[in-house]
Amino acid sequence: MAIDFPNSPSSGDIHTVSGKQWSWDGEKWLAYGVSLSPSILKVDTGNNRVGINQVAPTVALDVTGSARITGDLTVSGTTVTVDSASVLVKDRVQFEGATANDYETILLATDPTADRTITLPDATGTVALTGAVPTTITVADTTDTTAFVALWESATGDLAPKSDAGITYNAGTGTLTATAFAGPLTGNVTGNASGTALTVTQAAQTAITSVGTLTGLTMSGAIDAGDQIISKAVFKDVGETLATNGTSGSTATIDLEDGNFHKVTLTANCTFTFSNPPASGTAGSFTLFLVQDGTGSRTVTWPGSVDWAAATAPTLTTTAAAVDVLTFITLDGGTVWNGFVAGQAMG
């Protein structure tokens, strides 16, 4: 069969006749010995490239489509680039390491029974192995303030994160136990409190369910007992809060939550209101230190709930700057106030 070669070929030109490829080397046509269509197998001798399903190979071996290798694949280059969302490996990846010897690191996957996903964090560091975590965590005493004791909620039982066992943390109950504490404590504290002194610098907790023996208690802040009973108490050097209502005007309110001793200067004829007494069944009382202003002659209208002796309100001292002292007691939450005079014309 005669072959019609192109006229004036250039070096490296490929000519195909009936599946047979010929290459012009600048002087003559050379037979490749390939009898496949170049759309299936392309041999580019000019660029030392071979294409499979690729008529214009761009690298030494350019394959379009899937490829299967039966046997070992050795890559002697420095980089393997996989431009794919997933790489399928049967069950393990083996790392030789920097030294080619008899020892390798194998990343092995247990035969999965469902689809699993392991996510690596966007961080730099060393992956900790569960088999390498000690059952006993020891932290040596140190003055290095950058060292911290870790308490793990995922653990179970008591952990002793300090070598002298002075502190334990039970992750199952969330209980921290130590031989001593220094610094502020917030939140609920249960157990026995003992020692030579206890200083309370903030408001007490809303409810204290049980407290053992407190010795040498010093308070530098207010304590709200929440209307609870304090029994078997001995008081010494006790003062009462003085609620100074200032000038009365035409109305004035005695609020027992402000205190149990009230001082009011009458600047006008005044109508009084009593508020926030203890609940019925608990006795409540207050003392009223009533002062006439520089003008005097001020009168008072008492609440209708006040019961005076002989159902008659006392006549107040009305001279300028005069002082009358009155006491009021209720046993039924303020439904009835028993009022009486403690002293008059005391200014």
Q: Total structural domains in the chain?
A: 2
Beta-carbon neighbour count of residue 57 at 10 Å? 19
Whether the Cβ atoms of residue 182 and residue 169 lie closer than 8 Å to each other? no
Has residue 311 been placed in a domain? yes
| In 53-102, beta strands by DSSP E | 61-63, 92-95
- Domain of 335, in residue numbers: 242-343
The 8-class DSSP code of residue 55 comes to S
Token digits of residue 231: 């029994």
Token digits of residue 4: 């019609």
The pLDDT of residue 343 is: 96
CA–centroid distance for 45 within its chain = 67
Burial tier of 274 (Cβ tally within 10 Å: 0-12, 13-18, 19+): buried
Has residue 181 been placed in a domain? no
Nearest CA to 323 out of 346, 297, 306, 341 is that of 346
How many helices (H) and strands (E) the chain has is answered by 0, 22
Has residue 135 been placed in a domain? no
Has residue 55 been placed in a domain? yes
The pLDDT of residue 224 is: 82
Has residue 106 been placed in a domain? no
3-state secondary structure of 258: helix
Has residue 130 been placed in a domain? no
Token digits of residue 106: 């194998």
The pLDDT of residue 211 is: 47
The pLDDT of residue 202 is: 47
Has residue 132 been placed in a domain? no
In angstroms, rounded to a whole number, what is the distance separating the alpha carbons of residues 29 and 24?
4
pLDDT tens across the length of the chain (347 residues): 677 888 888 988 888 877 677 888 888 888 765 545 667 878 787 888 888 888 888 998 888 888 888 988 888 888 888 877 788 888 888 888 889 899 999 998 999 999 999 888 899 988 877 766 555 555 555 556 555 556 555 555 555 454 456 677 776 677 777 777 777 767 666 666 555 555 555 444 444 444 456 666 777 888 888 888 888 889 899 898 999 987 788 999 999 999 999 999 999 999 999 999 999 999 999 999 999 999 999 999 999 999 999 999 999 999 999 999 999 999 999 999 999 999 999 87
Backbone phi and psi for residue 256, each to the nearest 5 degrees, phi listed first: -70, -15
Residues 6+ apart with CB under 8 A from 316: 290, 292, 298, 299, 300, 324, 344
Has residue 19 been placed in a domain? yes
The pLDDT of residue 334 is: 96
What does pTM read for this prediction? 0.45
Burial tier of 305 (Cβ tally within 10 Å: 0-12, 13-18, 19+): middle
Whether the Cβ atoms of residue 319 and residue 288 lie closer than 8 Å to each other? no
Q: Which of 63, 82, 98 is the last residue of a domain?
A: 63
Whether the Cβ atoms of residue 258 and residue 285 lie closer than 8 Å to each other? no
Nearest CA to 339 out of 304, 309, 316, 299 is that of 309
- CA-angle at 18, arms to 13 and 21, nearest 5°: 30
Q: Which of 38, 63, 88 is the last residue of a domain?
A: 63
In angstroms, rounded to a whole number, what is the distance separating the alpha carbons of residues 196 and 202?
19
The 8-class DSSP code of residue 310 comes to G
The pLDDT of residue 201 is: 53
